[in-house]
Amino acid sequence: MRTYGMIKAMQLAVYAVVCMVVIGAAGATEPLLLTAEGLPAEGSLEVFLGAPVFDKQVIFNGSENVREPYLAVALDGALLALRNKAQHMRRSEDGGRTWSDSIEAPFGFLDTNMIVDERTGDVLVVRLWESPDRLWRSKDHGKTWREESIVVKPNEVMKWLEWTGLKTRGGHEGSRTDSGKYFLHANAGEAGITLRHGKHRGRLLAPATFRPHAAAHPSDRKPVDVIYNCAIYSDDGGATWQVSGFFPEGYTEEAAIAELSDGRIYYNSRSCMGYYDEALARELREDERLRRTAWSHDGGQTWEELAVNRVLPDGGGYDRGYGMKAGMVRLPVHGRDILVYSNSDTDGGAREKMTVWASFDGAKTWPIKRLVYAGPSGYSSMVAGRPDTPGEGNIYLLFEGMDSHVYAGMQVARFNLAWILEGEPTGDGEVPDWVLP
C-alpha cells in the first residue's frame, strides 16, 4: 500500500524532473524552488490574469482604534490576518472567502510582521523592543505558537556607539526618553521573506529600525536622535539574528522588502522627512511626500543606491510629510519581477483613497494604479496567494479604513492582476505586452 509520504515523494520527483527540464532550457543553474510543503515557491503568470476578480470584506471592527494591520500567507496557503495593536488574529483556509473567529495572539504591537520560513514551514514573529529578545514560532501554519529566546547581533555602527558610550541598547517603551540609549525594533513594517536566490538562499530577512530614545515624533527629532531603517536576518532558522547596515538615509521607518529573481533585494521605505508637531509647520519640499528606496546586493547585509520614488506617494501625512506604513508584495511568478504596492493616494494629504500600483520591471517603473477604496484608509499590508494553494492567483490587501473613521475597522480586499490592469495609467512607463490580454 502506498503511504501519503510515498505519494508525495513521487509527486515531487515528477515535478522536479519537469521543472529541471524547463530551468535547463532557460540556462538557469539554481536548484528547484520548492517550499517545505513540497509545493513550488513560484508559478505561472497566467493564474493572476484571466477574468478580473475583486471583492472585499470587513474582518475587524471596533470603535476608533483598530490599528496596525499585519498579513501573511503560510506555506499551505492559510491567510493570517492580525489586528496587531489588539493582538487579534483571524485565519482563512479557503483563499480569503471565509475567515475564522478572532482569537488572541501572544504577540502584537511592537513586534514584527510575520516571517514565513519556506525551508521549514514555520511562521515566526520577532520581538526586539525590550530585553530579552525573543520570538514566537508556529509549526502548524499559525494555529498555535510557542515562545523562544533568540540572540541578536548588532551591526558595526551599533557596536561603535556602545564602545564609545554614546548610546547603548536597552529599556522598554516606558523609558524611551532615556538619553544615551536606543531601541532596535521591527514593528509596523511589512512581512519578512525567505531569500530564494544566490548564496544566501534560505536566509530569513525582515525590515527593522534603529531608534534612539527620544520623546519627539520620528519626523521632529534632532539629528542626534534620528531613526534609521535597517534589516534583521537569520541563517539558522531564527535562533540568531544579525542587524544589517543602516538604510542610506535617516528619518526612515516602517518599510517593505522584496527579493527579485536575480537575487537583488528592493527596500521601499516610509519617510518621516516632514513634521508632525504643527508648531513646527513649514513649507514642504516635493520629495518630502514621497517614498525612499534602496537596494542590497549581498543578501540584505548592506543597503545602497538611495533614491526618491517620484511616482509612489508616502500616504496620508495630513500635509505634514510624515508618511505612512505601506504594503508591498512581489508576485510569486517564475522569471518575472511583478511588484504591487499599496498606500493612500493623497500626495501626503488625508488618509484616504486606498490604492494599489503595479510594476512589471522590478520597481524601475510603476505604470498603472487602481483605486481599492475611496473612503478613509490608513496603514496597509499585502500578500499574494501561493502556487497550488486555495489562494493561487489572488492578491490580498489588509488595510485600516471604514466609512465612519479611518480606524473604525480593517478590511481585506481580494483581487487579481487582471483587475489592476483595468486601472489608470500613471505616466511612468508602459504596461508590457506580455501581461496584456
Using DSSP bridges, classify how beta strands 240-243 and 151-153 pair: parallel, antiparallel or unpaired. parallel
- Whether residues 352 and 227 fall in one domain: yes
pLDDT of residue 170: 76
- Whether residues 18 and 121 fall in one domain: no
26: phi then psi, degrees, rounded to nearest 5: -85, -10
How far from each other are the two terminal CA atoms of the chain, in whole angstroms?
46
Tell me how far apart the alpha carbons of residues 412 and 396 are, in angstroms, rounded to a whole number: 7
Tell me how far apart the alpha carbons of residues 132 and 264 are, in angstroms, rounded to a whole number: 32
Q: Over 70: is that where the pLDDT of 3 sits?
A: no
Tell me how far apart the alpha carbons of residues 128 and 110 are, in angstroms, rounded to a whole number: 8
At 222-264, the pLDDT tens digits run 999 999 999 999 999 999 999 999 999 999 999 999 999 999 9
User: Residue 32 — very low, low, confident or very high, per pLDDT cuts 50/70/90?
Assistant: low
Q: Over 50: is that where the pLDDT of 181 sits?
A: yes
Residue 53 near residue 418, CB atoms below 8 Å: yes
Using DSSP bridges, classify how beta strands 181-185 and 168-169 pair: parallel, antiparallel or unpaired. parallel
User: Residue 434 — very low, low, confident or very high, per pLDDT cuts 50/70/90?
Assistant: very high
User: Residue 131 — very low, low, confident or very high, per pLDDT cuts 50/70/90?
Assistant: confident
- Whether residues 15 and 59 fall in one domain: no
At 288-344, the pLDDT tens digits run 999 999 999 999 999 999 999 999 999 988 999 999 999 999 999 999 999 999 999
- Whether residues 384 and 364 fall in one domain: yes
Mean pLDDT of the chain: 91
Residue 269, SS3 per DSSP: strand
Q: Over 70: is that where the pLDDT of 4 sits?
A: no
Helix (H) or strand (E) holding 298: none
pLDDT of residue 177: 66
pLDDT of residue 172: 56
Report, as an integer, the average pLDDT of 23-28.
38
pLDDT of residue 164: 92
- Whether residues 221 and 364 fall in one domain: yes
- Whether residues 266 and 305 fall in one domain: yes
- Whether residues 28 and 75 fall in one domain: no
Residue 232 near residue 208, CB atoms below 8 Å: yes
- Whether residues 9 and 117 fall in one domain: no
User: Residue 10 — very low, low, confident or very high, per pLDDT cuts 50/70/90?
Assistant: very low
User: Residue 125 — very low, low, confident or very high, per pLDDT cuts 50/70/90?
Assistant: very high
- Look at 176 and 64; give whichever has higher pLDDT: 64
Tell me how far apart the alpha carbons of residues 364 and 366 are, in angstroms, rounded to a whole number: 7
pLDDT of residue 63: 80
Residue 35 near residue 74, CB atoms below 8 Å: no
- Whether residues 28 and 43 fall in one domain: no
**How many domains does the chain fold into?**
2
DSSP codes joined into one string, 70-138: EEEE-TTS-EEEEEGGGTEEEEESSTTSS-PPPEE-S--TTSBPPEE-TTT--EEEEE-SSSSPEEEEE
- Whether residues 8 and 149 fall in one domain: no
- Whether residues 22 and 83 fall in one domain: no
Q: Over 70: is that where the pLDDT of 24 sits?
A: no
pLDDT of residue 437: 84
CATH number, domain containing residue 300: 2.120.10.10
Tell me how far apart the alpha carbons of residues 320 and 274 are, in angstroms, rounded to a whole number: 6
- Whether residues 179 and 290 fall in one domain: yes
pTM equals 0.93
At 141-172, the pLDDT tens digits run 999 999 999 999 999 999 999 999 989 997 65
Q: Which domain holds residue 23?
A: 1-32
Determine which of 17-26, 250-259, 276-285 has the lowest per-residue pLDDT on average: 17-26
